[in-house]
Amino acid sequence: MKNEALKAKFQAFFGHDPAITVHAPGRVNLIGEHTDYNGGFVLPVAINYGTTIAGSARQDSKVDVVALDINEESNQFDLSDITYTHKQSWANYVRGVLKVVQERYPDVRGVNLMVTGDVPQGAGLSSSASFEIALIRLLTQLFSLPIDGIEAAQIGQEAENSFVGCACGIMDQLISAMGKPGHAMLLDCDQLNIAHTPVPASLAIMIINSNVRRGLVDSAYNIRRQQCEQAAEAMHVTSLRQASLAMLGDAKRNMSDTVYRRARHVITENARTESMFNALQNQNVAVISELMAQSHASMRDDFEITVPEIDYLVELVHGQIGDSGGVRMTGGGFGGCVVALIPKNRALDVTNTVNKFYHAQTGLKQSVYVCSAEGGAFA
């Protein structure tokens, strides 16, 4: 929805113009999966799909929020008593963010908010992180809070961890806040250091949504997280970031085969992510291709977070592009999307191939997006 239309809707609902309108992008991760909560490396891109919020400050401590894309549902609460709502799960992102912001900045007041977005929901492209970061950006501007992109990401993550109930890492919030147009962002999730590198101009960023319904995602995610912690404990390190394959080999007898393979994924994925940053910098497409293929195999065989439909999509695209580009599953897993970096002049062929074979093989209808790398809300 265009900003003008959003402002008109806001005025019709609240009876006054919004003071500001803000936007925060969703993301696609090029490589570095399930490494963020292990203090490791990730390499995401902010995309041209995101969440837009129009808002104004109130004189009292009430929050009144309308979700245009969820049947224009509205939710109200008071800052003095922020509780979890089971009836409108989307509203917990607003409640959680305001709870954390208020704990850090007690002077924050009530707000009127209207939200709209175009990140495909439940596809692993961070619609929720973009919602949180847009809201934090809005509060930052409205109340002149000294929040920067790193703190915004920490607030979003804390809202998810302690209020919404998802034990996610910090990648999604940080790229939504700090992405740079045309660039991918290497994030060291231990030190929170950031380095950007251009996505080679010859490559298109293609996202293919498998439209596999993602069931039991949170519980499977949390189990992976626990298994990583068990592996770290068996190696006497505080996080898998400090572990090496040699240490893992030495500690193998102190852990189950499953835990061993989970740790092997994380340790090798960290190395691949750093190598991918260099490969992007050097525009070395053959290396990009190989690293993305290895990453996918590791998620499939060691971390066990892919599903047959996603594996099929990866094989299909890989068969088309060979080593002229890369393809792998992206995001938390158990469905969701595949990301491919493909020569721009092959985008149409690949789309046609996917359209021709995916539905016939799986009975599902895919969606294909060719994306651009955008700037973050705090960049």
Q: Which one, 34 or 262, has the nearer CB to ligand GAF?
A: 34
Which region among 29-37, 48-56, 70-78, 316-324 touches ligand GAF (by CB under 6 A)? 29-37
The answer to the question of residue 36 lying near ligand GAF (CB under 6 A) is yes
Is 183 annotated as a binding-site member? Answer: no
Helix (H) or strand (E) holding 196: strand 193-198
- 197 three-state secondary structure: strand
Count of chain residues binding ligand GAF (CB under 6 A) = 11
The answer to the question of residue 131 lying near ligand GAF (CB under 6 A) is no
Q: Indicate if 172 belongs to the active site.
A: yes
Cβ(48)–Cβ(64) below 8 Å: no
Is 126 annotated as a binding-site member? Answer: yes
Q: Which one, 75 or 173, has the nearer CB to ligand GAF?
A: 173
- For residue 153, give the nearest of 170, 131, 134 by alpha carbon: 170
Instruction: Please report, for residues 29, 35, 93, 265, the alpha-carbon distance to residue 164 in angstroms, rounded to integers and kept in the order given.
Output: 22, 21, 7, 27
The alpha carbon of 19 is separated from its chain's Cα centroid by a whole number of angstroms, namely 28
Question: For residue 32, what are the contacts with CB-CB under 8 A and spacing of at least 6?
Answer: 40, 41, 42, 43, 44, 171, 269, 270, 272, 273, 276
Residues 309-368 that bind ligand GAF (CB under 6 A): 331-332
The alpha carbon of 158 is separated from its chain's Cα centroid by a whole number of angstroms, namely 15
Is 12 annotated as a binding-site member? Answer: no
Cβ-count burial of 224 within 10 angstroms (0-12 exposed, 13-18 middle, 19+ buried)? buried
Is 124 annotated as a binding-site member? Answer: yes
The answer to the question of residue 34 lying near ligand GAF (CB under 6 A) is yes
Out of 97, 115, 168, 307, point to the residue binding ligand GAF (CB under 6 A). Answer: 168
The answer to the question of residue 46 lying near ligand GAF (CB under 6 A) is no
- The single residue of 118, 172, 190, 349 carrying the catalytic annotation is 172
What distance in Å separates the CA atoms of residue 126 and residue 63, rounded to the nearest whole number?
A: 24
- Relative to beta strand 111-117, strand 62-67 is parallel
Residues 58-117 that bind ligand GAF (CB under 6 A): none
Please report how close the Cβ of residue 106 comes to ligand GAF at its closest, in angstroms.
Answer: 28
Out of 110, 120, 169, 326, point to the residue binding ligand GAF (CB under 6 A). Answer: 169
Q: Binding site membership for Mg(2+): which residues?
A: 128, 160
| Catalytic positions | 172
- Interface with ligand GAF by CB under 6 A: which residues? 29, 33-34, 36-37, 168-169, 171-172, 331-332
